[in-house]
Amino acid sequence: SWPPIPRAGGHCAPEGYKTMSDKVKRLEKLRGKFVVFEGLKGCGKSTIAEFVAKIAKGEGVDVFLTEEPTGGKHGATLREILKGKAHMPSPIELQQIFINDRMEHTSEIRKALLKHQLVICNRYDASTFVHGSIASGHDIFFFITTQESMFRKKDIIYRRPDIVLWLDAEPSIIIERLNARTRGFDTVTTTPEILEAVRRGYEELMKAKPYPILRIDTKDPIPDVVYACWEKILQQFQLQ
């Protein structure tokens, strides 16, 4: 039941809305929008994305909640690799598998958007750009152009996110959280140095501006972060 989920018509019109009817009409603008959550492992992406989706559903918005890697063929391969159950390819080859998974995923996302659903995705291509850059030594633009080329060769139209919420946290906080919830997590790839490099990568991506990226500080309790994300989404689409 946490966090408390508002129900459309079940409470007074919030500040900024003259009537509940006005609120419903304005929230219609969320339909057909594509929202992505990104951030370090352990920042709370899955939990926060799920609860933001619940808030949106509680407001009467039809939501398609999804994630990458997907449950498809390429997504299954990625999960095996990331769990250490399959051979680890080169950094560039790994990101190419992510992009192949994304090309299949794009079809699902487009179908949901055509149904006027609000698409909420846990990870998308920002992770490819940032992690691929760190692992390979290539800059972020190398992976942006790699993805563009792969989509073009398959004649697939890329769907740019309408907004990316970067859930940021200090590496020390991330490691503390991972220690608390996961025994024997990967301490080789989850060092303070690597986590800090990933943070710098997201900062670089914000400057590159491939799409709107908003930083959300996740040092606060999860309920506060969830509602901060919801407020940012409403602000982005001028619903407040």
Read off the pLDDT of each residue in 141-168 and give the average, rounded to a whole number: 96
The reported pTM is 0.88
Count other Cβ atoms within 10 Å, centred on residue 176. 13
Each residue of 55-97: pLDDT tens digit?
A: 999 989 999 999 999 999 999 999 999 888 999 999 999 999 9
Q: What's residue 115's pLDDT? A: 97
- Of residues 16 and 210, more confidence is placed in 210
Q: How far apart, in whole angstroms, are the C-alpha atoms of residue 227 and residue 165?
A: 13
The predicted structure's pLDDT at residue 21? 60
In this predicted structure, what is the pLDDT of residue 184?
A: 47
pLDDT at 114: 97
Q: What is the DSSP string of 27-72?
A: HGGGTT-EEEEEE-TTS-HHHHHHHHHHHHHHTT--EEEEESS-SS
Give yes or no for residue 188 having a pLDDT over 60.
no
pLDDT in tens, 92-127: 999 999 999 999 999 999 999 999 999 999 999 999
Specify the residue for token string 């930083």: 215
Q: What is the pLDDT of residue 192?
A: 87
